[in-house]
Amino acid sequence: MAGRKVSPNLELNRIVDERRAVGESLVHLGFGEARLPVFAPLARQLAAGAAYNAYGPVAGGLPVREAVAGYFTRRRLPTGPDQVLVAPGSKPLLMGLQHVTGGEVYLPKPAWNTYAPQAALAGKRAIGVPIPPESGGIPDPAVLREELRAARTRGATPGMVILTLPDNPTGTIAPARLVREVCALAEEYDLLVVSDEVYRDVIHDPATEFLSPADVVPHRTVVTTGLSKSLALGGWRIGCARFPGNPLGRRLRDDVVAVGSEVWSTLAAPMQEVAEYAFSEPPELRAWLGRAARLHGTVARAVHALLTDAGASCRPPTGAFYVYPDFEPVRDALARRGVTDSPSLFAHLLDEYGIAVLAGHQLGDDEGALRFKAATSLLYGPTREEQQAALDAEDPLRLPHVDSVLTRLAESFAKLTA
Ligand SMILES: Cc1ncc(COP(=O)(O)O)c(C=O)c1O
């Protein structure tokens, strides 16, 4: 098809690889990957699963769906295996949901760079609604209300709102009060709520309050998640969705299964073995998840500190592995370097400091704003040994390879805003 573009984060990987191939030293902060070694029992599960070479049911086999149902049930959401689908990543499940539903799609602004293109692929209009000051991952309820009213006045049909909890790109978790407010609007305007919880197990402080829309409006919420982020298994492609246990949920699930039957057929059988083990959450796996979340939090907070020291404003990160700074407070200093908007900030960081980030406008944010996303999980070192050391360290910030890249970032941002 003409005019299609590669997703900007994947395109950035290509640019970074090209520049590195000619010897440039780059700090790549533009790709949302956990960058940790595979937890050994998962690899053993995968090897054992190699014996399974038959196609299986599109929705996934019963054992893996039971494991996923248990995972949700332990999170206050009683779930049966017939409410669950597994697939090669949560991305295709999100696309499937776009295909089988109608109406306009409401997104936080900024949001993960795939939601809007997926809506467009499904022939739908996506509307970015600015996030509130408290957190990202959720449209500001007051603005969302205005947008929904305006849609009705236009004669349009609002169809779906997508929330990201915890959030990519801001690394924050929407407070319960805001989740409730958006759920109330979903009720009023009959919206399907899609709660993307792929970072659900990357909450830095386990005491942080987390409210899923499925707790509030279970009859109209589909939750998606997967193992790409929490267990750093992006390349293994394991995702799942939980549908409401009512006629709407059954209709949506059947329709997404129908899409899956024509597109991906089934989650690869060996991956179902991995997923069954992971979603049953044995103690050793929980311990690994806890260590990984602590590491993500420690490094994200360190990057947050160096950015705010340099004069940016930035919501403190509490989940996932991102920060989303805003250089508006130092706009004048940046203007002296020819940096006046999101594209020029991106280009300047790459060309002058060798720092690759994902520019805010690539995430649906205003092009005139001085914002970007940095994935701090890419700072644990390029080798498996360094990454394992970061995971095992009492204080990862004291590891020389982590310290040196943080120092480079601190010096670069201090220079940028001097
Ligand atoms: C917010 C969000 N949702 C979904 C995904 C897709 O994850 P996967 O398809 O690997 O499950 C990502 C990955 O970048 C993400 O950041």
CATH of residue 156's domain is 3.40.640.10
Per-residue pLDDT, averaged over 191-217, amounts to 98
CA of 228 to the centre of ligand 1 (A): 7
Point out the domain boundary residue: 249, 281, 313: 281
The predicted pLDDT at position 287 comes to 98
> Has residue 308 been placed in a domain?
yes
Domain with 299 in it = 8-31+284-417
> Has residue 326 been placed in a domain?
yes
> Has residue 2 been placed in a domain?
no
Point out the domain boundary residue: 281, 306, 321: 281
Atom number in ligand 1 closest to CA 234: 10
Question: Mutation test of ligand 1: which of 68, 97, 112 has the most ligand atoms closer than 8 Å to its C-beta?
Answer: 112
Say if residue 2's pLDDT is above 60: no
On whether both 88 and 108 belong to a single domain, the answer is: yes
> Has residue 110 been placed in a domain?
yes
CA of 216 to the centre of ligand 1 (A): 23
On whether both 245 and 290 belong to a single domain, the answer is: no
> Has residue 3 been placed in a domain?
no
Between strands 104-109 and 84-87, the pairing is unpaired
Question: Mutation test of ligand 1: which of 94, 165, 198 has the most ligand atoms closer than 8 Å to its C-beta?
Answer: 198
Say if residue 261's pLDDT is above 90: yes
> Has residue 1 been placed in a domain?
no
Confidence band, pLDDT 50/70/90 cuts, at residue 9 = confident
CA of 258 to the centre of ligand 1 (A): 22
The predicted pLDDT at position 238 comes to 98
CA of 92 to the centre of ligand 1 (A): 10
On whether both 299 and 238 belong to a single domain, the answer is: no
pLDDT, greater one: 51 or 1:
51
On whether both 266 and 378 belong to a single domain, the answer is: no
Confidence band, pLDDT 50/70/90 cuts, at residue 6 = confident
- The pTM assigned to this predicted structure is 0.97
The predicted pLDDT at position 354 comes to 95
Question: Mutation test of ligand 1: which of 228, 238, 322 has the most ligand atoms closer than 8 Å to its C-beta?
Answer: 228
Confidence band, pLDDT 50/70/90 cuts, at residue 5 = confident
Element (H, E) at 74: none
The predicted pLDDT at position 3 comes to 58
Point out the domain boundary residue: 281, 306, 325: 281
On whether both 147 and 232 belong to a single domain, the answer is: yes
On whether both 113 and 262 belong to a single domain, the answer is: yes
Question: Mutation test of ligand 1: which of 9, 35, 86, 90 has the most ligand atoms closer than 8 Å to its C-beta?
Answer: 90
Say if residue 415's pLDDT is above 70: yes
On whether both 155 and 304 belong to a single domain, the answer is: no
Q: Which residue is listed with tokens 């779906």?
A: 160
What is the number of domains present in the chain? Answer: 2
CA of 226 to the centre of ligand 1 (A): 8
Per-residue pLDDT, averaged over 358-376, amounts to 97
On whether both 20 and 69 belong to a single domain, the answer is: no
Burial class (CB in 10 A: 0-12, 13-18, 19+), 207: exposed
d(CA 253, CA 82): 9
What CATH number does the domain containing 309 carry?
3.90.1150.10
CA of 90 to the centre of ligand 1 (A): 6
CA of 242 to the centre of ligand 1 (A): 16
For 308-361, the pLDDT digits (tens) are 999 999 999 999 999 999 999 999 999 999 999 999 999 999 999 999 999 999
Per-residue pLDDT, averaged over 251-268, amounts to 98
Say if residue 101's pLDDT is above 50: yes
Residues with CB under 6 A from ligand 1: 32, 89-91, 112, 164, 168, 196, 198, 226, 228, 234, 239
On whether both 252 and 310 belong to a single domain, the answer is: no
On whether both 69 and 198 belong to a single domain, the answer is: yes
Closest CA to 365 of 109, 148, 80, 170: 109
Query: For the chain, what percent of residues have pLDDT higher than 70?
Result: 99
Q: Which residue is listed with tokens 């002058």?
A: 352
106 in Cβ contact with 191 (< 8 Å)? yes
105 in Cβ contact with 125 (< 8 Å)? yes
Three-state SS at 296: helix
For 134-173, the pLDDT digits (tens) are 999 999 999 999 999 999 999 999 999 999 999 999 999 9
> Has residue 74 been placed in a domain?
yes
> Has residue 317 been placed in a domain?
yes
On whether both 403 and 363 belong to a single domain, the answer is: yes
389-to-42, 63, 234, 380 alpha-carbon distances in Å: 19, 34, 21, 8
The predicted pLDDT at position 1 comes to 47
The predicted pLDDT at position 8 comes to 83
CA of 198 to the centre of ligand 1 (A): 6
Q: Is the peptide bond before 382 cis (omega within 30 degrees of 0)?
A: no
For 225-240, the pLDDT digits (tens) are 999 999 999 999 999 9
On whether both 194 and 55 belong to a single domain, the answer is: yes
Confidence band, pLDDT 50/70/90 cuts, at residue 40 = very high
Tokens describing residue 238? 């394991």
CA of 21 to the centre of ligand 1 (A): 27
Question: Mutation test of ligand 1: which of 9, 12, 168, 373 has the most ligand atoms closer than 8 Å to its C-beta?
Answer: 168
Atom number in ligand 1 closest to CA 93: 9
d(CA 156, CA 159): 9
Q: Which residue is listed with tokens 């193992």?
A: 227
The predicted pLDDT at position 4 comes to 72
